[in-house]
């Protein structure tokens, strides 16, 4: 990926995705999941190509990430068909649905060897995640529902601290089982 500091890397799959990570996969013989995710900050690439991709798929900044990860996932599938060293391995690429990438793209499916890991980072833990009276958690549940429609593999990265109410004492405890 090309870093356009202080922004996020560009996910333009036509040029910048030509990263070889095959050696990494070969080195980790016992691993099945390889994470390729956005940076842990709110900035995203705003280059022309990423912006076009975002606009094409419902105005969602997750779209350039998914287009890129899908391209890599297809390359992994092709590599597995051609190379005996990885032919019988289970290999998933995993990416976070987090911050600007939390809302799923519209009109774009996720490859079946990709895992989406939706983060509860911006959820409200004072309320249960499925509490319809909480507008913050409604946004999270809408994202969860959207990802379930387009991704075969969906994991939750569940935070145990409450980023919406940092100073509130253990508000998560009353909802952790329900969540």
Identify the top-confidence range among 17-31, 35-49, 53-67, 164-178.
53-67
| Length of the chain, in residues | 179
Angle at 153 between CA 111 and CA 98, to 5 degrees: 90
Alpha-carbon distance of 2 to 10, in angstroms, equals: 6
Q: What is the pLDDT of residue 18?
A: 43
pTM of the entire predicted model: 0.84
On whether the CB atoms of residues 70 and 112 are closer than 8 A, the answer is: no
Average pLDDT score, the chain? 83
Q: Using one digit for the tens of pLDDT, what is the confidence trace for 71-130?
A: 999 999 999 999 999 999 999 999 999 999 999 999 999 999 999 999 988 888 788 899
Give long-range contacts, CB 8 A cutoff, 24+ apart: 135-139.
136/164
């Amino acid at each position: 990926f090309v870093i356009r500091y202080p922004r996020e890397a560009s996910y333009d799959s036509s040029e910048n995705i030509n990263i070889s990570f095959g050696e990494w996969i070969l080195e980790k013989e016992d691993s099945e999941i390889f994470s390729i995710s956005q940076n842990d900050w709110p900035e995203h690439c705003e280059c022309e190509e990423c912006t076009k991709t975002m606009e094409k798929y419902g105005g969602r900044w997750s779209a350039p990430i998914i287009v890129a990860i899908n391209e890599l996932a297809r390359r992994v599938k092709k590599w597995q068909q051609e190379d005996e060293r990885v032919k019988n391995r289970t290999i998933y690429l995993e990416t976070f649905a987090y911050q600007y990438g939390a809302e799923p793209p519209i009109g774009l499916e996720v490859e079946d060897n990709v895992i989406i890991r939706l983060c509860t980072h911006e959820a409200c833990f004072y309320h249960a995640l499925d509490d319809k009276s909480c507008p913050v958690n409604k946004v999270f549940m809408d994202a969860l529902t959207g990802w379930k429609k387009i991704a075969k593999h969906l994991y939750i990265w569940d935070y145990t601290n409450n980023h919406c109410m940092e100073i509130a004492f253990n508000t998560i405890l009353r909802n952790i089982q329900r969540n």
